[in-house]
Amino acid sequence: MQLNVRTLNLDASQTLDQYANERMEALLGFVADRVESIDIRLEDDHGSRHGRQLRCNVRVHIAGAGTVMVDQVDTDIYRAIDEAGRRVKRAVRRRVKRSQVFDHRRASRAAA
């Protein structure tokens, strides 16, 4: 599983990168064999009318099941990472389950 973290308009710190890496690895470990890559983008949305908004965008590429993308905005980047992680875990679980159902249907049609 390849994991990439990019920061835009934020002070890039090794602590923040490490936190994002560890959080996603912990949450997506159950499908580590199917995940090809995880791209995490952390950014500060300047010019926001609603105060400072920090964004965590996570894109997960799953072998045989496509791509899952989650975008989370919060005033605290660590909360944004946590919530994006929880959301992407649910989305990946659904996507993998759905792909297994379709694989099972294809296999049963081929056997018939």
| 63: CATH | 3.30.160.100
Confidence of residue 72 (pLDDT cuts 50, 70, 90): very high
Number of domains in the chain: 1
Range 63-92 average pLDDT: 94
Domain holding 60, by residue range, is 2-111
Angle at alpha carbon of residue 103, lines to 38 and 91, rounded to 5°: 35
Alpha-helix residue ranges (DSSP H) falling in 1-112: 14-28, 77-111
With 80 as the cut, is the pLDDT of residue 78 above it? yes
pTM greater than the 0.75 cutoff:
yes
Give the chain's mean pLDDT: 86
Instruction: Tell me the pLDDT tens digit for each residue of 30-42.
Output: 898 999 999 999 9
| Res 20: pLDDT | 93
